[in-house]
Amino acid sequence: MNITRENIDALNAVVKVNIAKDDYSNKVDKILKDYKKTANIPGFRKGQVPMGMVKKQYGKAVLIEEVNKLLQESLNKYLTEEKLDVLGQPLPRMQSDINWDADDFSFEFELGLTPEFDVELKGKKAITHYTIVADDKMIDEQVERIQKQYGKLISQDVVEADSEITGVFKNEEEGIENTVTLTLDKFKGKATEKKFVGAKVGDVITLKTKGLYEDDHELMHALKVEHDKAHGLEIEVTFEITEINKRELADLDQELFDKLFGEGAVKSVSELKAKIKEDAEKQFVQQSDQKLLNDVTEYLVENTTFDLPSTFLQKWMQQAGETEMSEEQVKEEYEKSEKSLRYQLIESKLMEANDLKIDFEDVKSSAKAMIKTQMAQFGQLNPSEKELDDIAARVLSNQEEVKRISEQVVSQKLLNLYKEKANIKAKELTYDKFVKEVYGDK
């Protein structure tokens, strides 16, 4: 066995594997001897078939299988021993003229090599890490939502601006008939609100769907139509009022506090507001951290320059794909995945350079924390360690879940690294201002 490598350039190499008769002959002979013992060929008793006939019938197939096994084993061993960091998988160079009657064989494989590069976390331009705070306006709105949610419904004769109106949206031609309860503040324009105010049970109001809601997703739910149909839908619908109610706000008393947070956990309106602020800002941390993770990822991909063996990778994608692709399709697929591949390489480099590793205990701890949070949402605030371990064991028996949680653990470790070593500036602002600054709308 002789394996040699020719480096075409820094990113491409060809490995040549020469296999001699001595490398495979003993294995082939042993398998054929076993075949001789069990071969069932008409005219011969079992175990008495001449070896020449066994070789004639099975010899070439056994030879090809054993040479291919040896080829893969030796190539994998070579890549490991040489510590070659390859992209994709080695691609065999096509050989249509293999002479399987020969004693010695030669095979060639193309390799795409991982590029050498450095990652600079601390760039010149600082990346913003937002601290999102819940302001008084947001807290007061949440208090009012809670009061409405737990308040009493009082029947009304006519629609007022703050009424809850139940009725049926209809359009016979489009097959629309859906019962909903709505409030007038959801509509886009004041003109629609005016159509409702003063209306009574039994009244039918005609509405145009175009511009009815700020968001077409609201229209989708109101009319119970498919997502694609709701976007740009321009028809008339009727709304027949079947019920009109006003919601009397619940009192902010101890009974409500206990219902919301458990007995005695909150004892005053000021404590309620503090609790709402605390819970909201915990959620905002997740959103802020995700934004930072996305921004640093984008920065690293844009500012860490290195070449890739793109020709090799496109050829590998074409051969490894489940469906046949043309060169144009492969090029398009490669362009779509190149950014992701670049970040995977950057991520691996950062993990290695900063000795960031994950093991099963990391994944298990993350799973248990996730389970504990989910249980708390259903009122189970103090699960035992055994309960958490048992549920985690069931979750982690699913390989897809293990993969998903492992990716979350990696992201969290990288996020901690970015906070420590990247060039980051802090900025505090309210949620409304955060949405406007980051997404450009309110």
Residues 96 and 201 in one domain: no
CA distance 239 to 180: 10
Query: Which of 82, 113, 144 marks a domain boundary?
Result: 113
Residue 398, in any domain of the structure: yes
Give the domain CATH number at 240. Answer: 3.10.50
Residue 143, in any domain of the structure: no
Residues 307 and 431 in one domain: yes
Residue 261, in any domain of the structure: no
Residue 141, in any domain of the structure: no
Range of the domain at 87: 2-113
Residues 306 and 223 in one domain: no
Residues 305 and 426 in one domain: yes
Mapping DSSP onto H, E and C, the string for 136-175 reads HHHHHHHHHHHHHHCCEEEECCECCCCCEEEEEEEECCCC
Q: In which residue are the tokens 């003229």 written?
A: 97
Q: Does residue 155 have a pLDDT over 80?
A: yes
Query: Hey, which of 51-55, 77-81, 318-322 has the most confident mean pLDDT?
Result: 77-81
Tens-place pLDDT, residues 179-231: 999 999 889 888 999 999 999 999 999 999 999 998 888 999 999 999 888 88
Residue 21, in any domain of the structure: yes
Rounded alpha-carbon distances, angstroms, from residue 246 to 101, 164, 198, 203, 282: 91, 6, 14, 18, 33
Burial class (CB in 10 A: 0-12, 13-18, 19+), 410: middle
pLDDT at site 380: 76
Confidence band for 442, pLDDT divided at 50, 70 and 90: very low
Is pTM, for the whole model, over 0.75?
Answer: no
Residue 125, in any domain of the structure: no
Residue 258, in any domain of the structure: no
Tens-place pLDDT, residues 9-23: 999 999 999 999 999
Beta pairing, strands 176-183 & 105-113: unpaired
Residues 353 and 224 in one domain: no
Confidence band for 441, pLDDT divided at 50, 70 and 90: low
Residues 109 and 212 in one domain: no
Confidence band for 117, pLDDT divided at 50, 70 and 90: very high
Residue 130, in any domain of the structure: no
Residues 299 and 402 in one domain: yes
Residues 298 and 432 in one domain: yes
What are the DSSP E strand ranges found in 8-48?
A: 12-19
Query: Which of 195, 218, 248 marks a domain boundary?
Result: 248
The domain tally of the chain equals 3
Residues 303 and 233 in one domain: no
Query: Which of 94, 113, 132 marks a domain boundary?
Result: 113
Residues 288 and 404 in one domain: yes
